[in-house]
Amino acid sequence: MSKKYTKGTFLIQSIVSVIVIFYLLPFLVVFLYAFKSPQEIIGSSPFSLPEKLELVNFTQAFEALNFFQSFGNTFFITASAVLLLILLSGMAAYSIVRGGNKFFNGTYMFFIAGIMIPYQVIFVPMFVLGSNLGFINNLFGVIFLYVGTSLPFAIFVMAGFMKTIPKEIEEAAFIDGCSIMRTFWIIVLPMLKPVAAALTIILSLQIWNDYLLPQLFLSDNSMKTLTVMQSTLFSAFETNFNVGFAGIILSSLPILILFLFMQKHFVKGITMGSGK
């Protein structure tokens, strides 16, 4: 594409700017609220600047969220589940694509059908089963369930990518006497990095922001996740939007910073991972 800055480019720049203002509006409000006292919220226009920065909102939100703990939990659950998901979906996609007979095709359809099952509709039995397996109040139990329920989508994406990898390299490895598992581990897995990066974004956002599963499975305060703790800031009987919105900022800022740092890799990852 040309690097020239033409009239057309200016037009596009203007359109995008307007869109971005619309996007920023809710964030602006969140920020302004988070720095105001309850009285000021009532008394002033939502767009007015805070008279003085009410930092107490942040300390309150920090405490109410039990921030370090819940952030650590969320991070641990998300990171472990995503790592496992990438490994397992790679294994499944590899055997499905290379196995290529009726059985493997059938299994593929079996997995794909799972994309359509919203886990909310199988919640009660999932919980009964989970409690028998000791998944309650168990971070690993929750990780297990995330892996199980997100696998279909991950396999769907992985398999799409796997089909584009040429067989030749693997065949050479077989001839050298490598077993399939060894081939997968040494040759195929490293080739999956681009699609793994793309999947990492998609899956980690889903798991990071999930609410129902940790809400129902993790009752121990030391195991609660950020989303669950956030919900207690918005109760039907008492909501302090200033503290609530300060909580939103606190819990979103780290992941936003992470995104800013990782942006290049994210985009690169998707570029290579989107089935090209």
Instruction: Tell which positions 190-219 bind other proteins, by CB under 8 A.
Output: 190, 193-194, 196-198, 200-202, 205, 208-212, 215-217, 219
Show the binding pattern over residues 234-253: x = contacts other proteins (CB under 8 A), - = does not.
xxxxxxxx--x---x---x-
Of the residues 49, 117, 169, 172, which one makes contact with other proteins according to CB under 8 A: 117
Is 34 among the residues that bind other proteins (CB under 8 A)?
no
Near other proteins in 70-109, by CB under 8 A: 72-73, 75-76, 79-80, 82-83, 88-89, 91-92, 94-96, 98-105, 107
Q: Of 49-57, 165-173, 255-263, which part binds other proteins (CB under 8 A)?
A: 255-263
Smallest distance from the beta carbon of 32 to other proteins, in angstroms?
10
Q: Which of residues 217-236 bind other proteins (CB under 8 A)?
A: 217, 219-223, 226-227, 230-232, 234-236
Residue with smaller CB distance to other proteins, 57 or 197: 197
Question: Exposed, middle or buried: residue 162 (CB in 10 Å: 0-12, 13-18, 19+)?
Answer: buried
CB of 26 to other proteins, least distance (A): 5
Q: Least distance to other proteins from the beta carbon of 57, Å?
A: 14
Is residue 186 close enough to count as binding other proteins by CB under 8 A? no
- 69 three-state secondary structure: helix
Report d(CA 72, CA 50) in Å as an integer.
32
User: Long-range CB contacts (< 8 A, 24+ apart) of 227-230?
Assistant: 227/74, 228/70, 229/64, 229/65, 229/66, 229/70, 230/65
Residues 48 to 67: which contact other proteins by CB under 8 A? 63-64
The footprint of other proteins on residues 162-181 (CB under 8 A) is: 179-181
Q: Provide the minimum distance between the beta carbon of 53 and other proteins in the complex, in angstroms, as a whole number.
A: 20
**Burial (CB count <10 Å: 0-12, 13-18, 19+), residue 266:** middle
Which one of residues 52, 124, 166, 177 is an interface residue with other proteins (CB under 8 A)?
A: 124
User: Residue holding tokens 């909580």?
Assistant: 247
Q: Report the C-alpha gap between 185 and 209 in whole angstroms.
A: 31
Binding mask 13-32 for other proteins (x = CB under 8 A): x-xx--xx--xxxxx-xx--
Q: Contact at 8 Å (CB) between 194 and 114?
A: no
Region from 8-16, 51-59, 165-173 binding other proteins, contact rule CB under 8 A: 8-16
User: Long-range pairs for 209-217 at CB < 8 Å and ≥24 separation?
Assistant: 210/146, 212/119, 212/120, 212/123, 213/119, 213/142, 213/145, 213/146, 214/77, 214/142, 216/123, 216/127, 217/127, 217/130, 217/135, 217/136, 217/137, 217/138, 217/141, 217/142, 217/145
156 neighbors 115 (Cβ within 8 angstroms): yes
**Residue of 53, 56, 113, 186 interacting with other proteins (CB under 8 A):** 113
If binding is defined by CB under 8 A, does position 276 make contact with other proteins?
Answer: yes
